[in-house]
Amino acid sequence: MPGTPRPAASAATHCPYCALQCAMRLTAATGLTVQARDFPTNGGGLCQKGWSSTGVVTAPDRLTRPLLRGNGGELVPVSWEVALDHIAATIREMQREHGKDTVAVFGGGGLTNEKAYQLGKFARLALGTRFVDYNGRFCMSSAAAGANRAFGLDRGLPFPLADLGGADAILLLGSNPAETMPPFVRHLAPVRGRGGLIVVDPRRSATAALTEDGSGLHLAPRPGTDLALLLGMLHLLLAERLIDRAYVEARTEGFEEVAASVGLWWPERVEQVCGVPVIDLQSAVRRLAAAAPAHGGRGAYILTGRGVEQSSQGTATVTAAINCALALGLPGRTGSGYGALTGQGNGQGGREHGQKADQLPGYRSIEDPAARAYVAGVWGVDPEVIPGKGVPAVELLRRLGTSGGPRALLVHGSNVVVSAPNAERVTERLRALDLLVVADVVPSETALLADVVLPVTQWAEEDGTMTNLEGRILRRRKAIEPPGEARSELWIWAELASRLRAPSTWPTEPAAVFAELAEASHGGVADYSGLTHDLIDATEAAGHGCYWPVPDAPDPSAVPDGGHGTPRPFLDGFPRPSGRARAVSVTYAEPADNVRAGAPLYLTTGRLLHHYQSGAQTRRVAELVASAPEPFVALHPLLADVHDIAEGDLVAVTTGRGTAYVRARVTADQRPDTLFMPFHWGGLGSANRLTNDRTDPVSGMPDFKVCAASIARVSAA
Ligand code: SF4
C-alpha cells in the first residue's frame, strides 16, 4: 500500500539529496509542499531535484511494512516482531557457528549523523563485528585520505563556500556542479566575472561550458591522466618560479622532495600523456598563480571532485592537487585554499562518526589505544570489546559469501547493486549470503534481493543533523509522520541490540543520540562536543549554522565572520604534530584498465542533473523521470560515424566486466576517444556492470572513472 503521510507541521529543513544541503521549508497543511529558504549555501535556490523532493515521500511503492522472504521465495509482509526476532535469531545462530565476523554491515553517506554514529556502535557492540563500512568509500575516500595525510584533518571544504566569491581564480578538477548541484554555481559567478574559472574535465560538461563566454578555460585531458596533468602543473610552477617560497618554508614539510619528483614532467610530455596542449597548460598555471596572494592576486582555490578522485590513483591525484595548492601558498589563508566537493547529502558527517572500517566517532582511528579507551568509556564497555579494523567497502563486498568471509549482511542507506563497481559480481556475492537484510524507504534493486526488508523513515519524517560539504552542521527537521509501519533505524538498532543482549544503552530519540555522539567526539578531530540540537537550531536561526570542530558551546547571539564554530580551521596552523602541511611525492601510472586492441575506447561515468546516486529515490519522481527517463551512452559524432551509430540507436558497450545495453546519445561534448554513461540505473543499462573494482591502495576507492571499452550498434532507433 502506498504511504499516506499524515500532515504534522511546517518545518525548516534541508534537501534530502546532495551535500550542498540547500535550505528549504516543508509545509504539510494541504499535501506536502517545498519552499526554498535563503541560506548562505543556496541563496534561496534549489535545483529540480530539490523542488520535486516530496515525490520520494509519496512514491507509489513506498515500503510501509517489514517483509520476510517466505518458503515460496516471495517477500511477504510480517510484523516488526517477527522480522526482528528472525534477524536476531539467525544472527545469533550464525555467530555461534562461524564467529562474530560472519555478520557484516554496510552503511551510507545519506544517513544522518545520529544514524551514522549509532550504526558504527551497533556493528561494534551489538554484532561485535569488525566488518563495517559504507558507500562513502565510493565517494570521498580518496579526498579524505589525501587531506588527512597532508593537513591532519579532512573537512571537504575547510572554508565557507561564500569565500570562493572573493578569489581571482578557481581550478575545478573533475567536478560538474552546474549539473550536480546548480545552486553552487552562484558562488562561481564573481570568479567567472574575472575570467578565472579553470575547469578540468574530459567532457564539455555543463560546468566546462560556463568557461566559453571568456570567463575561463577548459582543459579536457584523456581519462585517467589527471595525475600527470597535476604533476606537469607543479613542474611549470617551479620552472616559471611561481612558488610561494615564504609560505613553503614557513608552513609545509617535504616540499623539496616533491619538487625534485616532478622534474621530468615537461609540458610537452604532459601534452603527450594527457592530450592537453602546452599552451593551455601554461595558460591555466599562469592564471592560477597570478591569482595567488604571493603574486598580488585576491586569492585562488583548487577544488577536486569525483572525476579525479574515483580512481585507483585517487589519493595520489588529490595529493598532487594539494601539492600545487601548497606550492602557491593557498591552504590556511583566508580567501584561498584547497578543498574537495562532497557529493552525498551527509558524505561529510557520514565519514566522521564511526561507520568506516578503520574509524571510531570523532574521526578517531580504531587502532589508536587512547581513542579506543575513550570511546569505550562513553559506551560503558571494556576497550577490548571493540573489534579491530575491518576492510574497505569493495573488499568487504568481495568477501561476502566466500569461504571464511561474512555470510550475513545488513545494509542501511545504500543500493550497492547499482552503486558499487563491477555490479554483477556484487549481485553474485549478495546471492551467496545466508542472510541479507536491507533497510530502505523503497524497494531498491538491493532490497529486492534481501531475505528481510525493513521499511524506514526518511528525511521529511525525521529529526536529526547533517554535515554539509563545508563541514557546516545543519538540522533536519520532521514535517510529517511516516507512512504505515515505517520506523527509524535508531529504533531498529535499539530493538536488535536488546534482542542480541548488547551492552551499553541505545537511545532512539535523535537529540539524545546526538548528545552521546557529541560526547564520543570530544577531543577528536571532528569534535561536535560543544553542540546540541537546540544550539544548532539557534546557530542556523542566526544565519550560518556551525562548523566543526566545535569543542565549546557557541553563542548564537554573536555571529563571527563566516559562522559559528571553526569556519576556517587552518588559519593558525595545520593539526599535525609539526603544525605544518605535508607535501608528499606521488608517481603517475597509466590507468589500470587502459585502452587496447578490442577495447580501444575510454569509458567514464558520472551524474546527471535529474538523478541522485543510484537513482533509487529520483527514479520514483515523475517529473525527474520525464526529464531523464533512461540510461544512455554519450559518444562523439566522429566515433558514431565509425561505428555506424545514430542518435537513439540501441548499442552494446562492453568492458572486461561485461556488457550494458543503452541508447546512444551523439554529442560533440565528448572526446572522440571517450564514452560517457550516467550511473543512476540498474539492470542491463547499468554503468556499473562495466566499471572496474580495482581499488586505490590507500583509500580503497574503486576505478569508476576510466576503463577500456568497445561499442557496437545492436539495432536502429
Ligand atoms: Fe540543492 Fe543538491 Fe538538493 Fe539540488 S540536490 S536542491 S543542489 S541540495
| Mean pLDDT of the region 96-103 | 98
Cα gap 263→639, rounded to integer Å: 36
Ligand 1 center to residue 20 CA distance, Å?
Answer: 6
Say what percent of the chain tops pLDDT 90.
Answer: 94
What's the CATH code of the domain at 448?
A: 3.40.50.740
Per-residue pLDDT tens digits for 235-253: 999 999 999 999 999 999 9
The domain boundary, picked from 341, 367, 396, lies at 341
For residues 369 and 305, state if they share a domain. Answer: no
For residues 456 and 308, state if they share a domain. Answer: no
For CA atoms 289, 291, 293, 297, the dihedral sign is positive
Per-residue pLDDT tens digits for 404-437: 999 999 999 999 999 999 999 999 999 999 999 9
For residues 299 and 413, state if they share a domain. Answer: no
For residues 192 and 319, state if they share a domain. Answer: yes
Cβ 475 vs Cβ 510: under 8 Å = no
Report residue 38: phi and psi, to 5°: -80, 125
pLDDT at 514: 98
pLDDT band at 343 (very low <50, low <70, confident <90, very high): confident
Which one-letter DSSP state was computed for residue 123?
I
DSSP string, 670-693: S-TTEEEEE----GGG-GGGTSEE
Number of Cβ within 10 Å of residue 136's Cβ equals: 28
Looking at the domain assignment, is residue 560 inside a domain?
no
Q: Which residue has cell 568509556?
A: 377
This complex has an ipTM of: 0.99
Here the cell at position 595 is 585502452
| Mean pLDDT of the region 582-588 | 98
The domain boundary, picked from 341, 363, 389, lies at 341
What is the extent of the structural domain holding 31?
A: 6-57
pLDDT at 215: 84
Q: Which residue has the higher pLDDT, 544 or 106?
A: 106
DSSP string, 151-215: HS---SSSS-GGGGGG-SEEEEES--HHHH-GGGGGGGHHHHHTT-EEEE-SS--HHHHGGGGTT
The number of angstroms, rounded, from the C-alpha of 687 to the middle of its chain's C-alpha atoms is 18
Ligand 1 center to residue 523 CA distance, Å?
Answer: 32
For residues 173 and 303, state if they share a domain. Answer: yes
Pocket probe for ligand 1: among 21, 25, 46, 176, the residue whose CB has the most ligand atoms within 8 Å is 46
Q: Rg of the chain's alpha carbons, rounded to an integer?
A: 24
Residue 299 has pLDDT above 50, yes or no: yes
Q: Which residue has cell 549482511?
A: 409
For residues 32 and 126, state if they share a domain. Answer: no
Pocket probe for ligand 1: among 20, 53, 175, the residue whose CB has the most ligand atoms within 8 Å is 20
Cα gap 573→589, rounded to integer Å: 33
The SS3 of residue 481 is strand
pLDDT band at 81 (very low <50, low <70, confident <90, very high): very high
pLDDT at 8: 54
Ligand 1: which atom is nearest the Cα of residue 345?
8
pTM of the shown model:
0.95
| Mean pLDDT of the region 658-662 | 97
The SS3 of residue 448 is helix
pLDDT at 42: 96
Ligand 1 center to residue 573 CA distance, Å?
Answer: 33
Q: Which residues contact 618 (CB under 8 A, 6 or more apart)?
A: 17, 49, 56, 610, 611, 612, 624, 625, 680
The domain boundary, picked from 461, 491, 516, lies at 516
pLDDT band at 30 (very low <50, low <70, confident <90, very high): confident
Ligand 1 center to residue 292 CA distance, Å?
Answer: 31
pLDDT at 694: 93
- Which residues does a 6 A CB cutoff place in the pocket of ligand 1? 15, 17-18, 20-22, 42, 46-47, 49-50, 181-183
Cα-Cα-Cα-Cα torsion 504, 509, 514, 520, nearest 10 degrees, comes to 0
Taking all residues of the chain, what is their mean pLDDT, rounded to a whole number? 95
Cα gap 19→197, rounded to integer Å: 22
Cβ 23 vs Cβ 38: under 8 Å = yes
Cα gap 113→510, rounded to integer Å: 9
Q: Which residue has cell 534541508?
A: 14
Looking at the domain assignment, is residue 570 inside a domain?
no
Pocket probe for ligand 1: among 21, 22, 26, the residue whose CB has the most ligand atoms within 8 Å is 22
pLDDT band at 3 (very low <50, low <70, confident <90, very high): very low
Looking at the domain assignment, is residue 535 inside a domain?
no
What's the CATH code of the domain at 215?
A: 3.40.228.10
Q: What type of residue sits at position 420?
A: A
For residues 123 and 169, state if they share a domain. Answer: no
Looking at the domain assignment, is residue 648 inside a domain?
yes
Q: Which residues contact 245 (CB under 8 A, 6 or more apart)?
A: none
Which one-letter DSSP state was computed for residue 124?
I
Pocket probe for ligand 1: among 13, 18, 35, 607, the residue whose CB has the most ligand atoms within 8 Å is 18
Pocket probe for ligand 1: among 15, 34, 37, 607, the residue whose CB has the most ligand atoms within 8 Å is 15
Beta-bridge partner residues of 603:
675, 707
Burial bucket for residue 194 (CB in 10 Å: 0-12, 13-18, 19+): middle
Cβ 50 vs Cβ 34: under 8 Å = yes
What's the CATH code of the domain at 30?
A: 2.20.25.90
pLDDT at 404: 93
| Mean pLDDT of the region 324-329 | 98
Here the cell at position 627 is 526529464
What is the distance in angstroms between the CA of the first residue and the CA of the last residue of the chain? Answer: 37
pLDDT at 295: 96
The SS3 of residue 295 is helix
For residues 646 and 498, state if they share a domain. Answer: no
Cβ 676 vs Cβ 604: under 8 Å = yes
For residues 304 and 390, state if they share a domain. Answer: no
Ligand 1 center to residue 554 CA distance, Å?
Answer: 27
Nearest one of 493, 481, 433 to 111, comparing CA atoms: 493
Which one-letter DSSP state was computed for residue 549?
P
Looking at the domain assignment, is residue 652 inside a domain?
yes
Say what percent of the chain tops pLDDT 70.
Answer: 99
Ligand 1: which atom is nearest the Cα of residue 53?
3
Residue 1 has pLDDT above 90, yes or no: no
pLDDT at 2: 40
Q: Which residue has cell 591525484?
A: 317
Ligand 1: which atom is nearest the Cα of residue 18?
2
Which one-letter DSSP state was computed for residue 13?
E
Per-residue pLDDT tens digits for 447-478: 999 999 999 999 999 999 999 999 999 999 99
pLDDT at 702: 92
Looking at the domain assignment, is residue 531 inside a domain?
no
Residue 353 has pLDDT above 80, yes or no: yes
Nearest one of 133, 132, 127, 119 to 385, comparing CA atoms: 127
User: Nearest C-alpha to atom 4 of ligand 1 is from which residue?
Assistant: 47
Over the range 342-380, which residues count as b (16 or more CB within 10 Å of their CB) and which as e? bbbbbbbbbbbbbbbbbbbbbbbebeeeebbebbbebbe
Q: Which residues contact 655 (CB under 8 A, 6 or more apart)?
A: 593, 599, 603, 690, 691, 692, 707, 708, 709, 710
Ligand 1 center to residue 191 CA distance, Å?
Answer: 22
For residues 334 and 351, state if they share a domain. Answer: no
Looking at the domain assignment, is residue 574 inside a domain?
no
Report residue 219: phi and psi, to 5°: -105, 130
User: Nearest C-alpha to atom 1 of ligand 1 is from which residue?
Assistant: 22
Q: Which residues contact 661 (CB under 8 A, 6 or more apart)?
A: 650, 651, 652, 653, 684, 685, 714
How many domains is the chain partitioned into structurally?
4
Ligand 1: which atom is nearest the Cα of residue 41?
1
| Mean pLDDT of the region 384-405 | 96
CA angle 297, 170, 559 (to 5 degrees): 80
Ligand 1: which atom is nearest the Cα of residue 16?
3
Cβ 85 vs Cβ 45: under 8 Å = no
Ligand 1 center to residue 187 CA distance, Å?
Answer: 14
Q: Which residue has the higher pLDDT, 591 or 283?
A: 283
Beta-bridge partner residues of 375:
none
Here the cell at position 487 is 520506523
pLDDT band at 9 (very low <50, low <70, confident <90, very high): low
Looking at the domain assignment, is residue 383 inside a domain?
yes
For residues 43 and 165, state if they share a domain. Answer: no
Nearest one of 705, 647, 650, 644 to 676, comparing CA atoms: 705
For residues 334 and 357, state if they share a domain. Answer: no
Here the cell at position 567 is 569556519
